[in-house]
Structure 1
Amino acid sequence: MERVVIIGLGLIGGSLGLDLVGQGHSVVGIARREETAQAAVAMGAVTEAATDLGLVAGADMVFICTPIDAVVATAAAIVPHLSPEAVITDVASVKGELVPAIEALWPHFVGGHPMAGKAEAGLAVAEAGLFQGRPYVLTPTEATNPAALERVRAIAASLGANLCQCSPPQHDRAVAWISHLPVMVSSSLILACQEEADPAILALAQTLASSGFQDTSRVGGGVPELGTLMARHNRAALLEALTQYQQQLEQMKMLISAEDWDAVHNTLTQAQAARPAYLI
């Protein structure tokens, strides 16, 4: 069994720890706050925990589960403590700028992104089996050590995840469409509704909101810090996706304005036919 260190004990780090502890791995957790470290031990997400990054010494594998903007700095901070063959991987939802930066720091790094989550954040909502049946993307490059890649692949597979492999730029373009764009669209939908000038109509709309609105607004009601980091660190790909989406909205607006109901029907039919390909 591996000696695994998880840095960042939030939803992803905690859920990862629950699965790995359950498999019999020795799992060390590192958190920013002592209370979080103690809570992780108490819930069985790790076998030991503290706030000292020096605990990575002796680790076979290190998962960096911090927010996106702290991943590279965390990698730089732990490098002096690592054993020569230790593998570093991460779980960040952006890869293009992170992977080359960490590869320059450590030869055994493998970019990773388990695509599982919740609207809520934090260790308290961590759960075993979170990654079961969900995509887990690995983003190796020409510089990636094959043995390190295989070790990360093996652990990801043990979580019951569906493994996927692509380059860092490909990853960022794809997640801009299916993860980052929906957050911006969903939050914009909520704020557009809030623009209703008549308080009585707004209150009625809120009362009538059912599953359709709940489904389309869910990710817009998520953690603002995460959405901001998505936009900041995947800016180019997200802007391209937003532009394409805006063009689709303008096209639909034009068809409705022209009362071209056949074209509206054809557009909705195309969307209906395309949707199953995006469902797991």
Structure 2
Amino acid sequence: MKIEKVSIIGVGLIGGSLGLALKKKGLASKIVGIGRRETSLREALRVGTVDEVTLDLKEGVSQADLVILAAPVGSILRIGREIVPHLKQGAILTDVGSTKEEIVRALGALTKDFVGAHPMAGSNESGVEKATASLFEKATCVITPTGETSKKALDVVENLWKKIGARVVKMSPETHDFLVAITSHLPHLAASSLVSLAAKEKEKAVPLIATGFKDTTRIAASDPRLWSDIFLSNKEMVLSALKEYKEILSQWEELIREEDQEGIRLKFGQAASWWRENVLS
């Protein structure tokens, strides 16, 4: 499989890494990077993630066989709606957004050749200078086709992710959004909340911060603009997951208040067992 022209809108960490991975595997004859800032595009060229760059969306997607929306999740819908009228007949459109239901519903209504995707890879660092061709190797990439998605587009997008080393999982956009609310979005909320709690104690807490706190809160250093967009684009699922999380915290509160040692041990044990079997393995 070799695609003649791939256009990547947004050449940051994810878009840049995609460009490098496509080049490494020889999956595209030409890769065009599209962005809003000349400095970022020049850096993308310097790093070698793309072959050409442009600030012009219409020009950038013209005659592209595959267009990848790698912009921040809060911009994907706007950009997608803007470019669809300028795509050539049969061009495939996909994205890398971390929420899916809203994006898939809107862009899928505009073209049957849209395939929603979410590579579960990244870093708390950002920028094309951090891009690497190996970012997606052994990572999970969720693809969210609907009954209206064209088989050709689905096959191309699925094969692309497999060829750059990702493990592809298919599910509905709604299922994806609820599960990532639990496995990705709530952990950021929890990390940020723990940091806020420690910050209330000001400098008194700092000498006592050790490995456990650092490991648990590392992702609190992620980009606030990115994560505010993610939370608001997945509002209902985050609220639903947060409700369940609060119920679990209430159970803990009751066990501790009642000094229920057996119940506390059981709850710790159940979590530890599930983590070893499903996360550690």
2:137 to 117, 132, 136: 132
2:240 paired with 1:240: yes
One-letter code aligned to 2:35: A
Q: Assess if the C-alpha contact under 8 Å between 1:135 and 1:162 holds in 2.
A: yes
SS in 2 for 1:218: helix
Structure 2 partner of 1:10: 12
Q: Assess if the C-alpha contact under 8 Å between 1:75 and 1:105 holds in 2.
A: no
Q: Assess if the C-alpha contact under 8 Å between 2:11 and 2:33 holds in 1.
A: yes
* Separation (CA, whole Å) in 1 of partners of 2:156 and 2:280: 28
SS in 2 for 1:63: strand
- Deviations 1:34-73 (CA, angstroms, capped at 9, x unpaired): 1111110111101111211122111111100111121111
Q: Runs of at least 4 residues of structure 1 off by over 3 A?
A: none
Q: Are residues 122 and 179 of structure 1, via their aligned partners in 2, closer, same or farther at CA, if it must alter by over 3 Å?
A: same
1:155 to 155, 160, 172: 160
Structure 2 partner of 1:48: 52
* Separation (CA, whole Å) in 1 of partners of 2:122 and 2:20: 15
Q: Assess if the C-alpha contact under 8 Å between 2:74 and 2:230 holds in 1.
A: no
Structure 2 partner of 1:193: 198
* Separation (CA, whole Å) in 1 of partners of 2:188 and 2:86: 37
SS in 1 for 2:31: strand
* Separation (CA, whole Å) in 2 of partners of 1:23 and 1:223: 30
Structure 2 partner of 1:250: 250
Q: TM-score, normalised by structure 2?
A: 0.94
One-letter code aligned to 1:18: L
- Identical-pair percentage: 40
Structure 1 partner of 2:40: 36
1:189 to partner: Cα distance = 0.8
One-letter code aligned to 1:47: D
1:279 to partner: Cα distance = 4.3
Structure 2 partner of 1:261: 261
2:174 to 154, 169, 186: 169
1:210 to partner: Cα distance = 2.1
1:195 to partner: Cα distance = 1.9
Pick which of 255-264 and 138-147 moved more: 255-264
* Separation (CA, whole Å) in 2 of partners of 1:124 and 1:194: 31
* Separation (CA, whole Å) in 1 of partners of 2:247 and 2:113: 42
2:224 paired with 1:224: yes
Alignment of 1:60-209 (within 5 A): 60-196=65-201, 199=202, 202-203=203-204, 205-209=205-209
Q: Assess if the C-alpha contact under 8 Å between 1:18 and 1:46 holds in 2.
A: yes
Q: CA RMSD in A?
A: 1.3
Q: Are residues 270 and 159 of structure 1, via their aligned partners in 2, closer, same or farther at CA, if it must alter by over 3 Å?
A: same
SS in 1 for 2:101: coil
One-letter code aligned to 1:19: A
* Separation (CA, whole Å) in 2 of partners of 1:261 and 1:245: 21
SS in 1 for 2:8: strand
